[in-house]
């Protein structure tokens, strides 16, 4: 049986294994490792914001042949965001991705070939906006999804959805989406350029 200590150790290993993309990610990674090590509660217990710092995931579907990313128009946030969700107690981050991909998109989560399965590509620590300000510790997992594949996002949670050119999204003002999305997409593009997979390039 997996214990809370085992879960904490597994999460620490995931985060420690990330290679920071820039100084901001290095700072966020160090912050998250210290947070995990401190024994603080990692999970949201009472919606929307208790405890005020808790673990979430994003799982942006990315189609490398056309260099596009799938985003949803989140009703509560009022922004175009990657699909994602809160990590539940006794649930690993990848298990959250699998559960939320089914709940939000009615699709099976498939790790993207650009990146090893079940490992995050990116970590961020971000203060949210709105009436219930809190801090999201976010692990970002790129997913493989074909734009021709039928998906059914939850219309109760999302006002719309679609595929957007990666370079276009990088140029968006921060308030249109998650303020860290451009950095994630830039890192994703550089990983694609390094591996030689798809249309992503290091210059974006």
Tell me the domain boundaries of the chain.
Answer: 4-195
pLDDT digits (tens, 9 = 90+) for 173-195: 999 999 999 999 999 999 977 65
**Residues of 86-106 as b/e, b for ≥16 C-beta within 10 angstroms?**
bbeeeebbbebbbbbbeebbe
Residues 6 or more apart from 175 whose CB is under 8 A from it? 79
Alpha-carbon distances, residue 130 vs 18, 76, 78, 88, 138 (angstroms): 30, 9, 10, 22, 18
* Residue 202 scores a pLDDT above 50: no
Q: How many CB atoms lie within 10 A of CB 128?
A: 16
Are the C-beta atoms of residues 14 and 120 closer than 8 Å to each other? yes
Q: How many CB atoms lie within 10 A of CB 143?
A: 22
CATH number of 4-195: 3.90.79.10
pLDDT digits (tens, 9 = 90+) for 38-66: 999 999 999 988 999 999 999 999 999 99
**What pLDDT score was predicted for residue 19?**
95
**What pLDDT score was predicted for residue 204?**
33
* Residue 130 scores a pLDDT above 90: no
- Helix, coil or strand: residue 26: helix
* Residue 198 scores a pLDDT above 70: no
Are the C-beta atoms of residues 113 and 31 closer than 8 Å to each other? no
């Amino acid at each position: 049986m997996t214990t809370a200590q085992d879960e904490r150790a597994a999460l620490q290993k995931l985060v420690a294994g990330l290679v920071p993309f820039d100084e901001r990610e290095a700072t966020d990674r160090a912050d998250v490792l210290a947070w995990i090590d401190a024994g603080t509660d990692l999970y949201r217990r009472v919606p929307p914001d208790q405890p005020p710092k808790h673990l979430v995931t994003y799982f942006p579907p990315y189609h490398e042949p056309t260099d596009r990313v799938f985003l949803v128009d989140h009703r509560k946030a009022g922004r175009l965001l990657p699909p994602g969700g809160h990590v539940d107690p006794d649930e690993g981050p990848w298990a959250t991705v699998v559960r939320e991909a089914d709940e939000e998109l009615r699709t099976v989560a498939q790790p993207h070939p650009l990146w090893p399965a079940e490992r995050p590509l990116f970590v961020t620590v971000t203060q949210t906006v709105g009436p219930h300000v809190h801090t999201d510790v976010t692990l970002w997992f790129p997913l493989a999804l074909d734009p021709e594949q039928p998906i059914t996002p939850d219309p109760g949670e999302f006002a719309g959805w679609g595929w957007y050119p990666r370079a276009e999204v990088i140029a968006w003002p921060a308030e249109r989406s998650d303020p860290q999305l451009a950095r994630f997409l830039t890192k994703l593009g550089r990983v694609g350029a390094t591996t030689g997979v798809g249309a992503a390039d290091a210059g974006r």
